[in-house]
Amino acid sequence: MRVCARFRIARLKGGIEMSVRAAHPSESSTVFRVLTEIAPEIPLRLDNEERQRRIRELVDAACASQMSWVSLDDSDNVVGFLFGRTRSTDTRGMEFSGMELLYGGVLPAHRGCGRFSNLLTEAKKFKTPLWAVVKRANTSAMAERLLKYGFAKQAVSVRSDEDTFVWTP
Among 23, 67, 113, 123, binds ligand COA (CB under 6 A): 113
Longest dimension (CA), the chain: 48
Position 131 contacts ligand COA (CB under 6 A): no
Q: Which helix (H) or strand (E) holds 31?
A: helix 28-38
Q: Write the single-letter amino acid at 99.
A: M
At closest approach, how far in Å is the CB of 141 from ligand COA? 3
Task: Tell me how many residues contact ligand COA (CB under 6 A).
Answer: 21
For the beta carbon of residue 146, count every other beta carbon within 10 angstroms. Answer: 21
What span, in angstroms and rounded, lies between the C-alpha atoms of 13 and 114?
7
The residues near 146 (Cβ < 8 Å, ≥ 6 apart) are 132, 134, 165, 167
From 21-29, 38-46, 61-69, 85-93, span contacting ligand COA (CB under 6 A): 38-46
Position 116 contacts ligand COA (CB under 6 A): yes
What span, in angstroms and rounded, lies between the C-alpha atoms of 32 and 58?
9
Position 99 contacts ligand COA (CB under 6 A): no
What span, in angstroms and rounded, lies between the C-alpha atoms of 56 and 60?
6
Position 112 contacts ligand COA (CB under 6 A): yes
DSSP per-residue letters across 34-60: HHHHHGGGTT----SHHHHHHHHHHHH
At closest approach, how far in Å is the CB of 28 from ligand COA? 17
At closest approach, how far in Å is the CB of 1 from ligand COA? 28
Position 115 contacts ligand COA (CB under 6 A): yes
Position 42 contacts ligand COA (CB under 6 A): yes
At closest approach, how far in Å is the CB of 163 from ligand COA? 12
Using the minimum distance from each CB to ligand COA, give the nearer residue, 84 or 98.
84
Per CB under 6 A, residues contacting ligand COA are 38, 41-42, 103-106, 111-117, 138, 140-142, 144-145, 148
